[in-house]
Amino acid sequence: MVDQGSDAEIMYPNLYNGLNLKLEDLTAYDSPLISFDGKAIIPKGQIRLPVQSGSKVVEVDFIVVDAYSPYIAIVARPWLHALGTVFSTLHLNVKFPSRDHIEELVGSQSVARQCMAAAILHQPEVESLASAEGGS
């Protein structure tokens, strides 16, 4: 997901695990983040990784969190600025200069809808009152 209103690039567990990253690969990052649902999240750490966008490769500092998201990562203003992009939320695309031409990354309306539905339908596990009070 591209979030042009954010200063932080975020990596979620699916990507972190898929890249076989380990805790020792991370550097400290101790500022809490506020999730989309308003809850504070303590990051696992931060990692700098190359991200290929079309023919360009940009180093991105991802903050790694252990939280649910239908996305695997969120890229934000630092990534957009590094590429020199023009981003359209209406058209779900990113355009950026590359040597002698303009490259374009195009999103998918159906995938965007699926992610939104997954986020809405996701029910975090909530401890029941009976188990919290030691009752049955």
Q: What is the pLDDT of residues 61-78, one digit of tens each?
A: 999 998 877 778 888 888
Provide the edge-to-edge strand list for the sheet that holds 73-76: 2-3, 73-76, 9-11, 56-64, 45-53
| Whether the predicted pLDDT of 58 surpasses 70 | yes
Does residue 94 lie within any of the structural domains?
A: yes
Residue 69 lies in a domain: yes
CA distances from 87 to 12, 13, 69, 75 (A): 23, 26, 22, 12
- What integer pLDDT is reported at residue 131 of this predicted model? 41
Domain count, the chain: 1
Residues contacting residue 7 through CB under 8 Å, at least 6 positions apart: 76, 77, 78
Residue 128 included in any domain: no
Tens of pLDDT, residues 80-135: 888 888 777 766 777 878 878 887 777 666 666 665 666 666 655 544 334 444 44
Residue 96 lies in a domain: yes
φ, ψ of residue 61 to 5 degrees: the values are -90, 105
In a domain, 70, yes or no: yes
pTM exceeding the 0.75 threshold for the entire prediction: no
**69 lies in which domain range?**
2-123
pLDDT in tens, 3-55: 776 788 899 888 889 999 998 999 999 898 887 677 888 899 999 999 888 88
CA separation for the pair 112, 89 (Å, rounded) = 11
Please check whether residue 136 lies inside any domain of the structure.
Answer: no
pLDDT at 85: 80
Could you say which DSSP state residue 27 is in?
B
Residue 130 lies in a domain: no
Give me the CATH number covering residue 18: 2.40.70.10
| pLDDT score at 77 | 81
Q: Does any domain span residue 83? A: yes
